[in-house]
Amino acid sequence: MKFKKWILSVAVVASVFGASQSAFAISGLADDYASAVPFALNHELVTFIAKSDSDWYTYQNNTSSTQFVVLSALAYQYNPSLNVDLEVYLKSPNNSGLVYLGTAADSGPGLADVYTRNLLPGETIVWVVNGHNPESDIGIYRTSVVGV
């Protein structure tokens, strides 16, 4: 069941975006939680990871229902020389601290790292995109949060 859901998630990530939004950031933007970029559901961003860079993003479930969300990060246009990783945290409504949830399994260069979770009403999921090798994984990537 869990595996099936994961397969579904990947299919959704692959199909949901007709036209992606584009914004080219530079190192120094969204480098920590305080400057994290807030996402709406079913939003994708194309941006740049610099040397030793990390980019922080957040999505809050503002609805009254639990949402199953799929986070992903991958090299733009499947560039096989770029491997980005996805680290995930949770902020609950009555706790200001971040709880580390885990790092998505590494799919390797050019491929999507995917993380899924049921997000309760009010919860905020926080994800960080890093170069797999911070010294050499530099380039354009895409990241998204999709509700299934």
Residue with token string 């971040």? 98
Residue ranges that bind Ca ion, judged by CB under 5 A:
30-31, 53, 55, 83, 85, 106, 113, 132
Nearer to Ca ion, 110 or 122 (CB): 110
In whole angstroms, the minimum distance from the beta carbon of 73 to Ca ion comes to 7
In whole angstroms, the minimum distance from the beta carbon of 74 to Ca ion comes to 8
The 3-state DSSP class for residue 52 equals coil
Nearer to Ca ion, 3 or 24 (CB): 24
In whole angstroms, the minimum distance from the beta carbon of 83 to Ca ion comes to 5
Nearer to Ca ion, 21 or 106 (CB): 106
Number of H helices, E strands in the chain: 1, 10
Residue 30: phi and psi, rounded to 5, are 55, 40
In whole angstroms, the minimum distance from the beta carbon of 71 to Ca ion comes to 13
Dihedral sign for Cα atoms in the order 39, 45, 48, 50: positive
Residues with Cβ within 8 Å of 85's Cβ and at least 6 positions away in sequence, in order, are 73, 103, 104, 106, 113, 129, 130, 131, 132
Nearer to Ca ion, 49 or 119 (CB): 49
Nearer to Ca ion, 44 or 113 (CB): 113
CA atoms within 13 Å, Cβ hemisphere of 66: 6
In whole angstroms, the minimum distance from the beta carbon of 130 to Ca ion comes to 9
- DSSP 8-state class, residue 35: G
